[in-house]
Amino acid sequence: MQSGAPETGSAESGAESGNCGLGSAGARALPLAGTPALPVRGQPPPTRRRSLLDAGLAYLLLAPSALVLGAFGLAPLIQAFLLSLRQWRLAPGPFVGFANYQQALTAEPEFWKAVVVTFYYVVGTVPVTIVLAYLLAETLHARLRGMGFYRTLFFLPYIASPVAAAAVWRWILNPNSGIASAVVKPLGWEPRWLYERTGLFQLLAGIFHHRLPEWAEGPSLALGCIMAVAVWQGVGFAVVVLLAGLAAIPGDVTEAARLDGARGWKLLRHVKLPLLSPTLFFLWIVFTIRAFQSFTQVYVMSVDNKGGPAGTTQNITLYIFQSFYANAPRLGPGYGAAVAMLLFLVILALTLFQFRVLGRKVHYS
């Protein structure tokens, strides 16, 4: 028993000596907590000069885009604001401050009439385009035969020239020689299409021999035709974007929802719409801004290219155009620039409001 004790002690001493050797090596390999990490072999340590070079390279790559945005975005905006503070005619006029803004908001009834027309146009095109595009996208997403052909068919109006498309539709809606009139005349209806100033709600109420107050007549039939053409031309873009969003929804998620009993409206509300919310939010923002800025279709399809009949198709952008080149002493480039700045502020405020309110309901995960 006594002879075994030294062997045990020697073994323990050997273990201790071995552990000491491993401990020194481990100390070199694994630094203690709180000590700075050593640089990886072969990689130079980060320096301030290298950070400045990386930042300089980043700014150099951003410079072309920044120059384009500054030259064609920020600079015209600043110039328009400066222009709105003066009473311009053929030459720069005197500085009038915010008098042009005050005139538009308080002394020009045509301005508010154009605001109402713009409101009708936005409300009548944006929701209709997105809802119709979703229905078409769901149909095309169902693996139908010839799906590629239908996708191309719906996208063709979007890539068509807006001027050419509007001119063709103006010919189609001609009350005397247009195709649309030839189709509905056998039914006993002879609408004047782009020449009709009566509101859509009043036309419907007239079927039952009712007369609505002027404020409740709604948009004119002429404006309704222009809105229909805008929906026809914009729905193709929304369909393609929504098809991409539907394709990104995992199939196992919808399958699991169906196994749990989700069908129809429940599947749409609790599964598809939350997963499509980023796509729908993008389309809502883009189409809202585009509707406020719409000009080409309204200008080409209005009967007199001035918002006729009786100004029922004169939206805010056409009003800016008419004011900018008007010969009236109270109007002109300065006044038109002021109205354009008001439109910019409205779009900016509405976009920020949508990001703040609707953005909270968007699910990005």
CB 234 within 8 A of CB 243: no
pLDDT given for residue 20 in this prediction: 41
Q: What is the pLDDT of residue 313?
A: 95
Whole-number pLDDT of residue 44: 54
Q: b vs e for 230-240, b when ≥16 Cβ sit within 10 Å of the residue's Cβ?
A: bbbbbbbbbbb
Task: Give residue for tokens 């500085």.
Answer: 95
| Whole-number Å distance between alpha carbons of 221 and 202 | 10
Measured N-to-C along each axis, helices 273-292 and 221-247 cross at an angle, to the nearest 10 degrees, of 140
Its CATH class, for the domain covering 99-361, is mainly alpha
Is residue 58 scored above 70 in pLDDT? yes
Taking CA atoms, 39 is separated from 23, 30, 43, 70, 161, in Å, by 22, 13, 7, 42, 59
Residue 23 in this model has a pLDDT that exceeds 50 = no
Domain ranges across the chain: 99-361
Find out whether 187 and 211 touch, Cβ atoms under 8 Å.
no
Q: Any bridge partners for residue 220, and if so which? A: 199
pLDDT band (50, 70, 90) for residue 56: confident
Of 180, 167, 164, nearest to 221 by C-alpha is 180
Note the pLDDT of residue 169: 95
Query: Is residue 26 pLDDT above 80, yes or no?
Result: no
- State mean pLDDT over 263-267: 83
* Residue 336: closest CA among 83, 93, 133: 83
Number of H helices, E strands in the chain: 16, 0
Lowest mean pLDDT among 21-30, 92-101, 110-119, 293-302: 21-30
Predicted pLDDT of residue 107: 87
Residue that the structure tokens 């002690």 belong to: 9
The helix (run of H) or strand (run of E) holding residue 300 is: helix 296-301
Angle at 92 between CA 89 and CA 95, to 5 degrees: 105
Residue-level pLDDT at 41: 57
Most confident of 10-19, 28-37, 236-245, 355-364: 236-245
What pLDDT is recorded for position 142? 77
pLDDT in tens, 112-146: 999 999 999 999 999 999 999 999 998 888 776 77
232 vs 265, more confident: 232
Split at pLDDT 50, 70, 90, the class of 359 is confident
| Residue corresponding to tokens 């800025």 | 293
pTM, to two decimals: 0.82
